[in-house]
Amino acid sequence: MTVSDQRRHLMQLLEAAVEAANPLVCVPPALPDPPEDGRLIILGAGKGSAAMVQAAEQHYLAGSPAPELTGCAVTRTGFTSPTRAIEMLEAGHPVPTQASAAAAARALEIARGARREDLVLVLISGGASALWSAPAKGISLEEKQEVTKGLLASGAPISEINCVRKHLSRIKGGRLARAAAPARLVTLAISDVPGDDPSAIGSGPTVGDPTTLGQARQILKDRNVDVPDSVAAALRDESNETPLPDDALFAATEYILVSRPADALEAAAKLAGTLGYDTRILGDSIEGEARDVAREHARLALECKARGGRTALLSGGEVTVTVTGGGKGGPNQEYALALVDALEGAKGICALAADTDGTDGGEGLADDPAGAIVDPSTPQRAAAKGLNPAKFLQNNDSSKFFGALDDLVMTGPTRTNVNDFRVILIDF
């Protein structure tokens, strides 16, 4: 098998993983019946929310009679799609913007207007935490932005970031469900978090929160993130504690996962099998420093090569980067760059790492890279251009490295998100 064949297979496997989480496919089977006497109120947030809203509208508006449909949703700038009845907004990600605050305020306003006979349908996907930003009383959006930036730069996993976000918010950690009560509330979610924990997906705006103010304070301390006095005060204020999972307000709610990272990996593994590879899924919830995970996966790939045969190593989850340099990139590109350093051009091994939403790190733009590809010629081509992988890795400058080699994966917005997708193909 040629390197060209392997590179083509890598892209096909990424496409299979993304298609498994396509909202137009996974949302309709889970949609609840509309209310008999009330309104159907749709609220959405996340990188996949526009496509989720599209799927819901197509389903309900095709009915006879169609229900009274209202609501709003927000997605990342550049990720929107045309909708018919639901207002679509755009906002910033991963750091919230004023548009994020406006979108959260609008969702809370609509939820508070829900009546007992109404059905509130909440459509959540990855990115909702930043896109619905309603700072707690006494905190400015700018202060909350600085806290988020500090946590991202510290290498904190998404679970820790969301714990802090929930306790600095008026919408996260079950507070949207509180606003919608006593209306019946159903949430459909596309998971982008390790373990598929509903309280972590979008920071759990419609479910109880098992984390506490004390844990949020400890995370900031452990990560050495300095915060303004107003944030410190908010995290000492017991009124900012989130409702627990056993709170009675959740009795009228239902939560349905419509797509998970595991589903994406299984779809890719099935295709890999038809392409002639023995498949091995390393896990759908892998966390840790991108470069450390890459070195471990490189070791496994070299072991597979030594045994012979054709193997596909697949993995998901959300790796992180502790930023120490001044370059540009994202966790998947850094993972790929660390593979270059660890594999040293080993013959027969090609790899792809990408974010299933279509953007990996970057400037928060729709045309940011999704990830990168590595093949046996990467070190040689880099040397010919005077590029030292180790130096680029030290500077966290993976985008520049792979951009110079034309090895960035550029998919554009996929309008879904089941987090990282990584595959290493080994041919004897």
| Percent over 90 (pLDDT), the chain | 90
Q: What is the DSSP string of 339-360?
A: HHHHHTT-TTEEEEEEETTS--
**Least confident among 235-244, 330-339, 346-355, 361-370:** 361-370
Q: What domains sit in the chain, N to C, each tagged with a CATH number?
A: 3-18+262-426 (3.40.1480.10), 31-259 (3.40.50.10180)
Long-range contacts of 143-148 (CB under 8 A, 24+ apart): 143/227, 143/228, 143/230, 143/231, 144/96, 144/168, 144/231, 145/95, 145/96, 146/227, 146/228, 147/220, 147/225, 147/227, 147/231, 148/94, 148/95, 148/96
Contact in structure between 111 and 43 (CB atoms under 8 Å): yes
**Least confident among 144-148, 173-177, 295-299, 393-397:** 144-148
Rounded mean pLDDT, 121-150: 93
Q: Is the dihedral of CA 147, 152, 153, 157 positive or negative?
A: positive
Q: Is the dihedral of CA 233, 237, 243, 249 positive or negative?
A: negative
Cβ-count burial of 102 within 10 angstroms (0-12 exposed, 13-18 middle, 19+ buried)? middle
Q: Which residues on adjacent β-strands are paired with residue 288?
A: 319
428: which DSSP letter? Answer: -
pLDDT tens digits, residue range 56-102?
999 999 988 999 999 999 999 999 989 999 999 999 988 889 999 99
Q: Which residues on adjacent β-strands are paired with residue 91?
A: 76
pLDDT-derived band at 26, boundaries 50, 70, 90: very high
CA dihedral 77, 79, 84, 87 (to 10 degrees): -30
Q: Which residues on adjacent β-strands are paired with residue 123?
A: 44, 188
Question: CA 161: distance to chain centroid?
Answer: 13
Cβ-count burial of 324 within 10 angstroms (0-12 exposed, 13-18 middle, 19+ buried)? exposed
Contact in structure between 306 and 350 (CB atoms under 8 Å): no
Q: Which residues on adjacent β-strands are paired with residue 190?
A: 259
Contact in structure between 54 and 83 (CB atoms under 8 Å): yes
pLDDT for position 193: 87
Q: Is the pLDDT of residue 360 over 90?
A: yes
Q: Is the pLDDT of residue 428 over 80?
A: no
Q: What is the pTM of this model?
A: 0.90
Cα 372 from Cα 290, distance rounded (Å): 13
Closest CA to 44 of 207, 253, 202: 202
Other C-beta atoms lying within 10 Å of the C-beta of residue 260:
24
Closest CA to 191 of 347, 12, 419, 369: 419
pLDDT for position 152: 86
Buried b / exposed e over 292-306, threshold 16 CB at 10 Å, is ebbbebbebbeebbe
Token pair for 83: 């909708």
Contact in structure between 157 and 106 (CB atoms under 8 Å): no
Beta carbons within 8 Å of 381's beta carbon, 6+ residues apart = 405
Cα 270 from Cα 316, distance rounded (Å): 15
Contact in structure between 217 and 235 (CB atoms under 8 Å): yes
pLDDT tens digits, residue range 275-322?
999 999 999 999 999 999 999 999 999 999 999 999 999 999 999 999
pLDDT for position 93: 87
Helix, strand, coil: what percent of the chain each, to 5?
40, 20, 40
Beta carbons within 8 Å of 72's beta carbon, 6+ residues apart = 42, 43, 44, 86, 87, 88, 89, 103, 106, 107, 110
Q: Is the pLDDT of residue 220 over 80?
A: yes
